[in-house]
């Protein structure tokens, strides 16, 4: 399997896991407050990767590289996830789905601006198709873009922008720090934000009844949705241009909608199927274009040798 193919599959797998994450989160968040849950996710994710790092003879990055990785994690897991939770609380779930789906656009733009990646016609067309598909899936008619939730919508937009910035910065740092170590350090970077806010939540509202389903849900969110999925996302960014990886993010609402219908008996309208088809078409255009470019495509930056 080529690195390009592995990068595509890794990004798709990460986005698909995150799509399914919302089904589990919907159950667990009824018991554990948002920032407390984020803290648990990051701690579990970091613990899993730390065990693997110990087996692989520990951290290899320099002190300066570690600091950079932690700061990038602060942007992605501290600021971006924090803004997403705050914005969702101030706004509505429908708005959150609609506004944060703009993240791939910002990954695409930041990749061109910061990494000087080429904006090709095929990638632009694929991005347009997938964006229209996401709009069809989330149905903007269900969103309230004005009134009292206006500021919440702005905060959600901030979450989308900072996730785009995080994804591009992770790609840049991945040229000098291995993906496994980088992911571990980035998780630690999110804790200075999530831990204080999570502690505040627990002191004010506490937690509900903890049962086996909640424990399994937390373990799934920490090990699968955080340690595994974010490692795969970061690996995809290390192997491919950020502009291409941005398109893989669009698989998230499709998988989330499908699992919501299957497990939570939520209804799927015709917009879902139309959107899924458009997103698939966009991904096909992008993948076909990358395959056609072959050796003529600008080589991706070399990353350090690690799994």
Tens of pLDDT, residue by residue over 74-123, are 999 989 888 877 777 676 655 666 666 778 888 888 988 898 887 778 77
Residue 295 has pLDDT above 60, yes or no: no
| Phi, then psi, of 301 in degrees rounded to 5 | -60, 145
- 131 part of a folded domain: no
- 301 part of a folded domain: no
Per-residue pLDDT at 124:
84
Residues 19-47: tens digit of each pLDDT: 777 678 777 888 888 889 889 999 999 99
Q: Which domain holds residue 150?
A: 3-119+142-241
pLDDT, averaged across the chain: 82
- The mean pLDDT value for 275-293 works out to 72
Residue 220 has pLDDT above 90, yes or no: yes
- Residue identified by tokens 């905060």 is 155
Per-residue pLDDT at 140:
62
- 74 part of a folded domain: yes
- 7 part of a folded domain: yes
- Cα–Cα distance, 261 to 297 (Å, whole number): 40
- 257 part of a folded domain: no
Per-residue pLDDT at 292:
41
E strand or H helix at 122: helix 121-138
Per-residue pLDDT at 141:
63
Per-residue pLDDT at 273:
81
Work out the percent of the chain whose per-residue pLDDT is above 70. Answer: 83
- 85 part of a folded domain: yes
| pTM listed for this prediction | 0.80
- Specify whether the CB–CB gap between 184 and 50 falls below 8 A: yes
Q: Which of these, 40, 172, 190, 197, lies nearest to 116 by C-alpha position? A: 172
User: Looking at the 3D structure of the chain, how many domains does it have?
Assistant: 1
pLDDT-based confidence at residue 53 (cuts at 50, 70, 90): very high
pLDDT-based confidence at residue 70 (cuts at 50, 70, 90): very high
Per-residue pLDDT at 199:
93
Per-residue pLDDT at 298:
45
- Cα–Cα distance, 156 to 165 (Å, whole number): 14
CA torsion sign, 232 to 238 to 239 to 243?
positive
Per the model's pLDDT, the better-predicted residue between 123 and 166 turns out to be 166
- 182 part of a folded domain: yes
- Cα–Cα distance, 28 to 120 (Å, whole number): 42
Work out the percent of the chain whose per-residue pLDDT is above 90. Answer: 34
């Amino acid at each position: 399997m080529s690195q390009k193919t592995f990068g595509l599959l890794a990004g798709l797998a990460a986005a698909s896991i995150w799509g399914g994450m919302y089904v589990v989160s919907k159950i667990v968040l009824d018991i554990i407050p948002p920032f407390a849950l984020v803290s648990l996710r990051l701690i579990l994710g970091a613990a899993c990767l730390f065990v693997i790092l110990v087996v692989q003879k520990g951290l290899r990055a320099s002190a300066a590289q570690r600091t950079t990785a932690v700061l990038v994690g602060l942007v992605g897991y501290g600021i971006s996830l924090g803004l997403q939770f705050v914005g969702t609380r101030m706004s509505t779930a429908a708005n959150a789905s609609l506004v944060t789906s703009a993240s791939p656009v910002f990954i695409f733009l930041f990749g061109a601006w910061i990494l000087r990646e080429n904006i090709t016609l095929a990638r632009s067309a694929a991005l347009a198709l997938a964006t229209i598909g996401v709009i069809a899936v989330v149905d903007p008619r269900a969103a309230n873009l004005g009134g009292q939730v206006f500021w919440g919508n702005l905060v959600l937009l901030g979450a989308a922008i900072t996730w785009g910035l995080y994804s591009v910065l992770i790609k840049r740092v991945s040229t000098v720090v291995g993906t496994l170590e980088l992911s571990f350090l980035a998780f630690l970077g999110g804790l200075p934000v999530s831990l204080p806010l999570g502690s505040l939540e627990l002191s004010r509202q506490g937690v509900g009844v903890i049962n086996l389903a909640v424990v399994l849900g937390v373990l799934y969110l920490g090990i699968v949705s955080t340690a595994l999925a974010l490692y795969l996302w970061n690996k995809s960014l290390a192997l491919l241009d950020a502009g291409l990886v941005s398109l893989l993010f669009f698989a998230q609402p499709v998988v989330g909608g499908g699992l919501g219908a299957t497990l939570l008996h939520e209804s799927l309208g015709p917009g879902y199927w139309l959107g899924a088809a458009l997103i698939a078409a966009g991904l096909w255009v992008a993948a076909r274009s990358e395959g056609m470019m072959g050796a003529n495509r600008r080589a991706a930056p070399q990353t350090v040798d690690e799994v």
